[in-house]
Amino acid sequence: MVSPPFENNLIYALDADRSDELASFRDRFTFPTRKGNDCVYLCGNSLGLMPKNVVNMFQQSIQDWSQYAVDGHFKAHNAWLNFHNFLRDTSAEMVGAKSEEVILMNTLSVNIHLMMASFYRPTGKRTKIIMEAGAFPTDRFAVMSQIQWHGLNPHEHLIELEPRAGEFNLRTEDILQAIQDAGEELALVFFSGIQYYSGQLFEMERITQAGHAVGALVGFDLAHAVGNVQVHLHNWDADFAVWCNYKYMNGGPGIVGGAYVHERFAYRPDIPRLAGWFGNKMETRFLSNVDFDPMKGAEGWMLSEVPILTSAALLASLDIFVEAGFENLCRKRESLTNYLEFLILELNDPSIQIISPPEARGAQLSLYFHWDGKAVYDKLISKNIYVDYRDPNVIRVAPAPLYNSYHDAFRFVQTLKECLA
């Protein structure tokens, strides 16, 4: 992969793409156009591009439905009854877990509630939850409503950690200190893997160790981390995690999400959960008047069958990840993101501050504009540059290594320069 010293010119960018061993994967995806013109798409942290092989996957699923009807549960090309299993092994590798610790089901918000129903059980004075301030709304809404569900006041039992004055990112030592200070009052630590606004990659292993040291459980929302950075949930000893699959995983809008439960819990039927029939053992799943008997592993938290037609899109994307090799993608991600950073710094524009920490980030640079960031964003969009704006004053730029190129990075910065002028 390309590494410093970089050069700020078109020839260098094109040469970097020609030497990129993963460059051909770009052709596996469909890029949007506007008024007949091609676009620079740097918005994979919001919605990944559609893999072209999704069409074949859909056609196969529709053909199976047409040919087999109800028998498609057993006779389809990928039998519907166990379709979630076709998604599981690769997904488990992506988050550093054992296959039996992972289940593909529901959507992100639903899975947060399911996990918290089992792993946030406030008792005595151990009632509090720690999370980062400014977490994505779905996390905050779920956490606050779970606290209320237990008859507690979220403004008293939720601890939200903010960066120090004048800083954009939380220092790990401040997170660890807050966990230690909460001590025996702390029931749960629930953090993002990557902070959606700043792009900061949190030190999940150290956060997990600190939470366990005071007797709390620890879970993560990996929405911006899965398919982006290397995660090792099992080895890090995290208790649970959840994620969506429509960002870097390219599964499509509204696609099925994922959940992880560490094996120390996954084989315990005594853990309270909100149960569904697909989480029950196959032997008694279709019987009436029987008590819930959970499947072993994370599958025991499953409520119902995954949506087959849309899940086929995720399967198409996972096949591409396997072929490309995730370690290869991570190396390109680092190189491509560093190159983008180099080009932005070359602008030497005092209105722009890159707030994503270089030592702890994925494929996202959050550009904080000290004035009029929304106006710059609007100009970029008008020039066929797909990026993402978040209040206050941040444009998020995400060069996804599966389909973005060094030329994309160069075109973006050249267009940004025009907009700033």
**Residue-level pLDDT, tens digit, the chain, 421 residues:** 787 899 999 999 999 999 999 999 999 999 998 888 889 999 999 999 999 999 999 999 999 999 999 999 999 999 999 999 999 999 999 999 999 999 999 999 999 999 999 999 999 999 999 999 999 999 999 999 999 999 999 999 999 999 999 999 999 999 999 999 999 999 999 999 999 999 999 999 999 999 999 999 999 999 999 999 999 999 999 999 999 999 999 999 999 999 999 999 988 888 999 999 999 999 999 999 899 999 999 999 999 999 999 999 999 999 999 999 999 999 999 999 999 999 999 999 999 999 999 999 999 999 999 988 999 999 999 999 999 999 999 999 999 999 999 999 999 999 999 999 8
pLDDT for res 63:
96
Domain residues of the chain, as ranges? Answer: 10-30+326-420, 59-321
Structure token pair of residue 311: 């899940």
User: Taking the domain 10-30+326-420, which CATH number applies?
Assistant: 3.90.1150.10
The total of other beta-carbon atoms located within 10 Å of residue 32's CB is 12
C-alpha neighbours within 13 Å on the C-beta side of residue 421 = 7
**Among 322, 306, 295, 280, which residue's Cα sits nearest to residue 79?**
306
DSSP readout, 24-82? GGGGGEEPPEETTEE-EE-BTTT-PPEETTHHHHHHHHHHHHHHHGGGHHHHSTT-GGG
pLDDT for res 22:
98
Chain length of the chain: 421
User: What are the b/e assignments for 313-331, b being 16+ CB within 10 Å?
Assistant: bbbbbbebbeebebeebbb
Dump strand ranges (E) for 113-200.
128-132, 158-161, 186-192
Per the CB < 8 A criterion, the answer to whether 400 and 336 are in contact is: no
pLDDT for res 38:
87
What architecture (CATH level 2) is domain 59-321?
3-Layer(aba) Sandwich (3.40)
What one-letter code names the amino acid at 92?
A: A
Per the CB < 8 A criterion, the answer to whether 38 and 385 are in contact is: no
pLDDT for res 269:
87
Q: pTM for the whole thing? A: 0.96
User: Helical H runs in 158-203?
Assistant: 172-182
